[in-house]
Structure 1
Amino acid sequence: MHTSYHPHPVLLGLLLTLVIAEAAASDTNFGGPDAVDNQISADKGDQQKPLREQWSAKGIELGLDYSAVGLYADTVLPGSDKEAISGMVRLYGSWRPQGQQENGGGSLVWKLEHRHSYTDTSVKNFEFGAGGLGLVTPPFNDEKGRLTNLYWKQTLSDGEGTLIAGFMDVTDYVDVYAAASPWTGFMNFAFSTGTNTIALPGDATFGAALGHMLTDSLFVIAGISDMEADPTRPLESVDNFFNDNHYFRSIELGWTSSQEQIYLNNIHLTLWQSDKSDFLNQASDKGFNLSASMMKGNWLPFVRYGNAQDGSLLGIKESLSLGFVYYGMLAPKNHFGFAINWADAGSDQYTAEAFYYMKLGKNLELTPDIQLIVDPALNPGQDQIWIAGIRARIFW
């Protein structure tokens, strides 16, 4: 019988109060490439925009972008579409109050989105119709207007840790590595957070997470959040957290060569446990993930393994991914990635993906992509499926 430990809300509140009371000092960043602060920093690059500089001087950082993904499969299940196109507009930013602007301090972080599909099948669910068991760029769905982030981010007093509390996207801190971004990395979720095994909650999940450097190289990241979160009704997640007590919990122990390289040179073990979710129609589960990536010149090779006790996310209990990213291919800001995945989906399913990310000008990104699914779990009569894709992003 599954038994869950539910921390008392008052004890949790006291814990957060004690952690926040230690806040001040310099900023430490435990977020992945898609975390709001990292995305804004990457988009700024060498661009000089007077209005943005004026806002920055007042502690306000803003970002706006539009992204779209298109997919085409050479074969699909009867009644399924051979193509899918989905898009998304995002408004995101942070505000650092006066008195918090020096040496890190705290900031309010937000992200609002409108997710939409131009076809009957969204990009997220396209692989199912093709006969594969998996997800492709899960953010590209048809949820319409929704909240993704609204949390307070606080640097701890020793400058070696960061606390976030509020409405979160757990993929910003769980099982992070450089190529996990659905905007700049692999499209297939087999090469992203959890390698298709972690039973994640939805976005705008109410909770808290804490990352801290234990030594110059060793770190720990832990979090707890609501499993019933609906990003189109975010306020309900607060009530869920304190009354329904269905949680997603994770703790990650890892090594990095330096804080600045934390999601490039990274070896970590993630332990996770999820309670059942009525909203996601998902049973309780638990498991672990191992990940190692190490930058060698322009090469970033990686190996990632996921193991779920019951496979409640997609029915996948084990998953292993091997691959690399080569940075600076043909142009300084372009990169190429290739990876293969094996998944225990009741039968053995294999996935391979190659992509080429291009930075075109100062405000446009374009990524052609090709995927091959061998022995697709949902279409056993088919030996292989080819999926071609294109991803575009324009930002301001």
Structure 2
Amino acid sequence: MNNLTTKRSPLSIKEIYKKLYFSLLFLIFFNILPSYSQNTKEKSITSPASVENQLKSDLAETEKASLWNVLDSSDNAKNRFYEKTGFIVNMDYNSQVMGATSAVNNNIGASGVFRVYGKWNLVGNKKGTSQGGLVFKFENRHKYTDNALREFGPIDVGFLGFMQSVYNDQKWRMTNLYWRQSFNNDKIVFYTGFVDVTDWADVHAAASPWTSFNNILFATGSGTMGGMFPDGSMGAMLNVWVNDNIYLVGSMIDINGKATEFWKSFDTFFSKFETLKTFEIGYTPGMKSAFLKNIHATVWQVDASETLGTKSGFGVIGSASWIIGNKFMPFVRGGWAKDGGSFYEASVSTGFTYNIMGPNTLGVGLNWNRPSESTFGQKLRDQYVSEIFYKFKLTHHTELTPSVQLVAHPALNMNTDFTSVFGLRFRAFL
């Protein structure tokens, strides 16, 4: 008797990931309810630079410590329109200049960024406990000098890393275009679409390069998680609160995505399937204090990429920040990486911010880092970095942030053991 059954080959890890991704999509959209409500409060663990948190920060009523307040009527009208329709959009212009006391090329670098960002809540239940909608952000990033500020550190100063990670010369790009779905009063939040992994991976109240520290050393993983990964790519994120104190965040993105050609990322995500995966577990004494009192650990793994020319790799990140009183928030952050195209094999940052939630903020940070021999093909000297910034509001809609970065032993400039980089950042938003 013939045996008509065939033996199936075991599923590969990539095929399992794909099946899980489409299963999540099905569950998310199957459970969306048709009525709309606009009453939920954000509880997802996302960066202060994310669209939702930037919108809240822009529209927040702050202490009237500015020289004058304008456009308040526009803010009120925008809030009323959002309450009725679920749609809100803001725009800003960011400009920054940096000057170095010692450099291998140019001593001056300057760049600008124009951004339009917003969200459109489209579905939700009548109680407002679940909600879904689109989140978007597109930008024009441009340079004023020979090199944009993203390249100013490594090319001009000889610093291995980014002294300003988001001010490049990519021109028009789509950074965010994704669906955000929440359930159970934001205790479960899911993103899918064109996302930015730095919006949720190892987030920190002072990690925004638009309004806080400039240097990548005080951002995601203290610089140990990649360096070549796209900050706009096809992917998905799931944030779950286990209880009021413990949260979990898992994600996966396409490492071959390009924000300047975002439509191609859908193809590379499912064809090449070379991805970055992250998983985080965190503790906070309460959901409302998740940013200001937070301890978390993050692990990540990335596939090899012929496009980026990087090996597969993995790493571990740890972070603790805890506000004392109402204004003083010390932090300790660090990470370790094995391959994966990371800038640093190890990096540790510590410091504090004062009045991080107010209109005027002081930040002081110290860092030690060891450049990755695997990424750069040679052993480079350890770098020691300090950054001090002070952000203050000129008006209700304008911010000015002077800063100084002190670098000892810049790894790409062997002609000096020390350099200072002075910066001035301006932001106007509507």
TM-score of the two chains, using structure 2 as the length reference: 0.86
Runs of 4+ more than 6 Å apart = none
> Of the candidates 80, 100, 115, which is equivalent to residue 90 of structure 1?
115
Letter in 2 for 1:120: D
Are 1:39 and 2:54 matched, yes or no? yes
User: What's 1:303 paired with?
Assistant: 332
Q: Decide whether aligned partners of structure 1 residues 280 and 391 sit closer, same or farther in structure 2, where only a CA change above 3 A counts.
A: farther
User: What's 1:244 paired with?
Assistant: 272
Cα RMSD, aligned residues only: 1.9
Q: Decide whether aligned partners of structure 1 residues 391 and 12 sit closer, same or farther in structure 2, where only a CA change above 3 A counts.
A: same
User: What's 1:281 paired with?
Assistant: 309
Q: Decide whether aligned partners of structure 1 residues 209 and 98 sit closer, same or farther in structure 2, where only a CA change above 3 A counts.
A: closer
Give CA-to-partner distance per residue, 1:320-361, whole Å, 9 cap, x none: 0010001179xx521101111001123221001100010121
Q: How many angstroms apart in 2 are the aligned matches of 1:11 and 1:328?
A: 39
SS in 1 for 2:339: coil
Letter in 1 for 2:304: K
Letter in 2 for 1:13: F
Q: How many angstroms apart in 2 are the aligned matches of 1:274 and 1:55?
A: 42
User: What's 1:268 paired with?
Assistant: 296
* CA deviation after TM superposition for structure 1 residue 158, in Å: 6.2
Structure with the greater alpha carbon radius of gyration: 2
Q: 1:229·1:279 contact (CA, 8 Å) conserved in 2?
A: no
User: What's 2:428 paired with?
Assistant: 394
> Of the candidates 325, 335, 342, which is equivalent to residue 313 of structure 1?
342
Segment drifting more, 224-233 vs 198-207: 198-207
> Of the candidates 132, 140, 143, which is equivalent to residue 106 of structure 1?
132
Q: Which runs of 5+ in 2 are unaligned?
A: 1-11, 62-71, 372-379
Segment drifting more, 107-116 vs 258-267: 258-267
Q: 2:124·2:132 contact (CA, 8 Å) conserved in 1?
A: no
Give CA-to-partner distance per residue, 1:93-114, whole Å, 9 cap, x none: 1111265683441111000100
Q: Decide whether aligned partners of structure 1 residues 224 and 99 sit closer, same or farther in structure 2, where only a CA change above 3 A counts.
A: closer
Q: How many angstroms apart in 1 are the aligned matches of 2:139 and 2:186?
A: 31
Segment drifting more, 43-52 vs 358-367: 43-52
* CA deviation after TM superposition for structure 1 residue 251, in Å: 0.2
Q: Superposed, which structure 2 residues align to 1:336-375 within 5 Å?
A: 336-345=362-371, 346-375=380-409
> Of the candidates 149, 160, 183, which is equivalent to residue 156 of structure 1?
183
Are 1:15 and 2:32 matched, yes or no? no
Q: 1:204·1:231 contact (CA, 8 Å) conserved in 2?
A: yes
TM-score of the two chains, using structure 1 as the length reference: 0.93
User: What's 1:59 paired with?
Assistant: 86
* CA deviation after TM superposition for structure 1 residue 20, in Å: 4.3
* CA deviation after TM superposition for structure 1 residue 257, in Å: 1.9
Q: How many angstroms apart in 2 are the aligned matches of 1:328 and 1:202?
A: 28
Letter in 1 for 2:46: G
Q: Tell me how many residue pairs correspond in the alignment.
A: 388
Letter in 2 for 1:44: L
User: What's 2:206 paired with?
Assistant: 179
Give CA-to-partner distance per residue, 1:108-166, whole Å, 9 cap, x none: 10001000001111101111121111102211000000000000001124641100100
Q: How many angstroms apart in 1 are the aligned matches of 2:15 and 2:403?
A: 44
* CA deviation after TM superposition for structure 1 residue 35, in Å: 1.2
Q: 1:253·1:269 contact (CA, 8 Å) conserved in 2?
A: yes
SS in 2 for 1:185: coil
Segment drifting more, 341-350 vs 277-286: 277-286
> Of the candidates 363, 374, 377, which is equivalent to residue 411 of structure 2?
377
User: What's 1:127 paired with?
Assistant: 153
SS in 2 for 1:69: strand
Q: Decide whether aligned partners of structure 1 residues 311 and 164 sit closer, same or farther in structure 2, where only a CA change above 3 A counts.
A: closer
Percent identical? 35
Q: Which runs of 5+ in 1 are unaligned?
A: none
